[in-house]
Amino acid sequence: MRQPSSDLATHLRLARTEGVGPVGYRRLLQRFASAASALAELPGLARAAGRAKIRIPSLAEIEDEIAGTARLGARFLMPHMADYPPLLARIADPPPALAVLGDAACLSRRAVGVVGSRNASLNGQHIASDIATGLAEAGITVVSGMARGIDGAAHEAALRVAGGVTIAAVAGGLDHPYPSQHTSLQARIAERGAVVTEAPLGTEPQARHFPRRNRIIAGLALGVVVVEAARHSGSLITARLALEAGREVFAVPGSPLDPRAQGANDLIRQGAPLTETAADILALLPSDITEFLARTDAEPGLQAFQEDPPPNLHAVDAARLAILSVLSPAPTSVDDLLRHCQFTSRAALVAALLDLELGGVVESLPGNRVALLIEQGG
């Protein structure tokens, strides 16, 4: 599977540059209009932000990654491409480079995420299987994370349905199926649906990769159902990200004596529809993606930022100082920063955050959040 290499390689070089995350990628394109221009300006931006050197992958490295991805039978989707998943494009931090193994078209169809505990009970796995079966029989794509427990049960159930389609969003590279016992499952998912990741080839999944994987599950789906989840689990991160993206969140109740049910029970107390079958989900799901896109406001993205006038240097300097005065290692919403720094325009805030990210001072996190990477002052 070959893709035109010049434009793809330029965008992929920008996406893979040290210090340029999903939000930084979008901000750079907003500021410089093209990936080539952004790449040309990056060394100077990094120096101005206090970083002596920034590592930009060579064209040869990127072409090797494109070729290696193609050898697996996969391809890249990037936000500027017409077939980039429209729901995923609406989140605050869409992946700038999404590697897709399988049918890329299924990423643009109605889908529901089914997530829950890796250490799932047998009853939880049965419920996840029943829900996924009902969704697949109704023509809904089942999205999950290919982990053990609830994820695996949901994928397997969708695959057992004639014509059922499922998508696995994974945390590592396509050449590193995780967990290893799901290597065969990954291959079967790719045959009937798609396996997607933003991680480069060769990436071994680590704990910090999973929240980013979770936002892809939330972003591809019209809704997410949590079957079993302890408090503070990754499944609740997926649920929060889904809510922030304007998606429906459903929860399956469980025994108050089972810690694996506490997170889902909390979601129900907070207003998530109590869910027992796929019918409970289908009754609240938009009839099609176009309807959903038409009735929801887009997350601030590249086009919205382009409407802002370019900030002057004084405003950016003021925004940088304001950000550093309030930011901590705990994640903070960018919207909260904007509200706190009332004198700061969004354009100035965006430019200042980009400078700080390139300088290695702050990190952009899933859900339009940022956090301080280094201690400032005493």
Tell me the pLDDT of the chain (378 aa) as tens digits: 555 467 999 999 999 998 888 988 988 998 888 999 999 988 888 887 777 788 899 999 999 999 999 999 999 999 999 999 999 999 989 999 999 999 999 999 999 999 999 999 999 999 999 999 999 999 999 999 999 999 999 999 999 999 999 999 999 999 999 999 999 999 999 999 999 999 999 999 998 899 999 999 999 999 999 999 999 899 999 999 999 999 999 999 999 999 999 999 999 999 999 999 999 999 999 988 988 888 765 444 433 334 455 566 677 788 888 888 888 888 888 888 888 776 567 778 878 888 888 888 888 888 788 888 865 443
In 3D space, the residue among 279, 280, 273, 232 whose CA is nearest the CA of residue 253 turns out to be 273
Q: How far apart are CA 319 and CA 190, in angstroms?
A: 45
Q: What is the 3-state secondary structure (H, E, C) of 90-139?
A: CCCCCCCCEEEEECHHHHHCCEEEEECCCCCCHHHHHHHHHHHHHHHHCC
The answer to whether the CB of 197 falls within 8 A of the CB of 138 is no
Which run of H or of E encompasses 357? helix 346-358
Report the C-alpha gap between 3 and 106 in whole angstroms.
Answer: 19
Q: 71, 171 in Cβ contact below 8 A?
A: no
**Alpha-carbon distance 310 to 302, whole Å?**
14
Pairing of strands 111-115, 98-102: unpaired
